Amino acid sequence: MQPQRPRPRARLGPPCLGCQHPSARKRNPMFTLSQGSFYFHFHNLLHANGRHTTFLCCRVEREHEGLMDRRVFKNQVGSDHAELCCLYWFRDQEFFPGEDYQLTWYMSWSPCPHCAEEVACFLAAHRNVSLTIFIARLYYYWVPEYQRGLRRLCQEGAQVEVMSFQEFADCYEEFVEEPFRPWKGLYSNYRMQESKLRKILGSTVSLLKEETFLFQFNNRHRVPRHCGPHRPRRKTYLCYLLARPGDTTAPTKGCLQNKKGHHAEILFIKRIRSMGLDPSQDYQITCYLTWSPCLDCAFKLAKLQKDFPRLTLRIFVSRLYFHWIRKFQKGLQQLWLSGALVAIMGLQEFTDCWNNFVNHQQSSFAPWDKLDAYSKNIRARLGRILRSWGCRPIPPSGEDSR
């Protein structure tokens, strides 16, 4: 792999909304990427010679409006890397302080340590901005400083993933605007890059912001007024713990959310299968979800349980998704019949999720008003659903009926 040449880097300065860098106006982002540039620079080769340029394709989404903008950046010769160019440009845009923003980056190279630190500081200062980074290739993945940079991003809430076929296709169709044609070795190279990234990140998990957890995992029927009376909870968050019984090492953690065309449960299944778990070994996975799975996700989770007969899969959900529709009820029934435990989050599960997956600055979980009452009502509803399909009722939180 040919490294990018070292060059002077400008700092982002005070991280406040609307601040600008003196040279930010000189960076003119593109709207699309040429076909040749994409196939050359985003090729996920393990040894990518001659690729000195980093391309970053950015999609900006706003909570109530969906897609807000999309641009393509590349590192500036003798100046800033693509990540900083994107952040300077983003700060120039019109902000709506009460809104949440989702940035999705498709990058040809993973960030260097300096850019990782700058992006992490930006996320720490702008609590209403969430970032997902899909990378085609890992940049200097064997150097400890670069590994620490990736872990630092995750610690500030960024979700860092390797681009699979679906991400390559999404990026190509959105920024090149043509049907994607995969190259030979795409999947095997993805598996290698994914394995290296998982080793780098280890037990590091993209932590949720406190306000995100308190809003998205809240089990009230109506959204609290202080969160915005017209702010729907459309996102699904899935936090998981993977451990082996009797193993004293720290469990593997992960936190996922639904993306364009991908439910969080499908991303979770894909990640678990990519780990190469031995079906003959014992594993325990505990999942915490904001919404119960849809029909398709429930069937695929059930298949995962059946493919790993010695897996103990526990799924705790905060709220039931379209629980009055029979096909969604059938999904819960099939998931239960597969051997997975499906239950409703109570105070203990909310506390465990808070302690493991929230950047809470050492503060303890403070339950909202009537949390136990809401959990009890939702648990009773789930019990009625399962009984109507001939399944045993769900036990109270923390108890296993099997």
Instruction: List pLDDT tens digits, range 39-59.
Output: 999 999 988 877 888 999 999
pLDDT band at 145 (very low <50, low <70, confident <90, very high): very high
Give residue 10's pLDDT: 41
pLDDT band at 226 (very low <50, low <70, confident <90, very high): low
Identify the burial level of 209 via C-beta atoms within 10 angstroms of its C-beta, where 0-12 means exposed, 13-18 middle and 19 or more buried: buried
pLDDT tens readout for residues 290-310: 999 999 999 999 999 999 989
pLDDT band at 127 (very low <50, low <70, confident <90, very high): confident
Instruction: Tell me the CATH class for 210-388.
Output: alpha beta
**Boundaries of every domain in the chain:** 24-201, 210-388
Residue with tokens 């409006």: 65
Choose the weakest-confidence range: 190-199, 233-242, 344-353, 388-397: 388-397
User: Measured in whole angstroms, how far is the alpha carbon of residue 214 from the centre of its chain?
Assistant: 17
Q: Which residue has the higher pLDDT, 134 or 26?
A: 134
Residues sharing a CB contact under 8 Å with residue 170, sequence separation 6 or more, in sequence order:
106, 260, 261
> Which range, 100-104, 173-177, 198-202, 251-255, has the best average confidence (pLDDT)?
173-177
Q: Is 12 a residue whose pLDDT tops 80?
A: no
Domains 24-201 and 210-388 share a fold: yes
Question: How many Cβ atoms sit within 10 Å of the Cβ of residue 110?
Answer: 25
**Active-site residue, from 83, 161, 167, 265:** 83
pTM above 0.75, yes or no: no
Tell me how far apart the alpha carbons of residues 396 and 181 are, in angstroms, rounded to a whole number: 50
Written as one string, the DSSP assignment of 337-365 is HTT-EEEE--HHHHHHHHHHHB--TTPPP
Question: Which residue type, as a one-letter code, is found at position 44?
Answer: N
pLDDT band at 380 (very low <50, low <70, confident <90, very high): very high
Tell me how far apart the alpha carbons of residues 255 and 35 are, in angstroms, rounded to a whole number: 33
> Which range, 2-11, 64-73, 157-166, 339-348, has the best average confidence (pLDDT)?
339-348
Instruction: Tell me the CATH class for 24-201.
Output: alpha beta
Mean pLDDT for the stretch of residues 120-143: 88
SS3 280: coil
Give residue 98's pLDDT: 63
Rounded to 5°, angle at Cα 165 from 67 and 105: 35
Question: Mean pLDDT across the chain, nearest whole number?
Answer: 82
pLDDT band at 378 (very low <50, low <70, confident <90, very high): very high
Q: Is 93 a residue whose pLDDT tops 60?
A: yes
Strands (E), 233-339: 237-243, 252-257, 283-291, 311-319
Tallying the residues shown for the chain, one arrives at: 402
Question: How many Cβ atoms sit within 10 Å of the Cβ of residue 46?
Answer: 13
Mean pLDDT for the stretch of residues 130-154: 91
Q: Which residue has the higher pLDDT, 133 or 13?
A: 133
Known catalytic residue: 349? no
Rounded to 5°, angle at Cα 91 from 87 and 95: 135
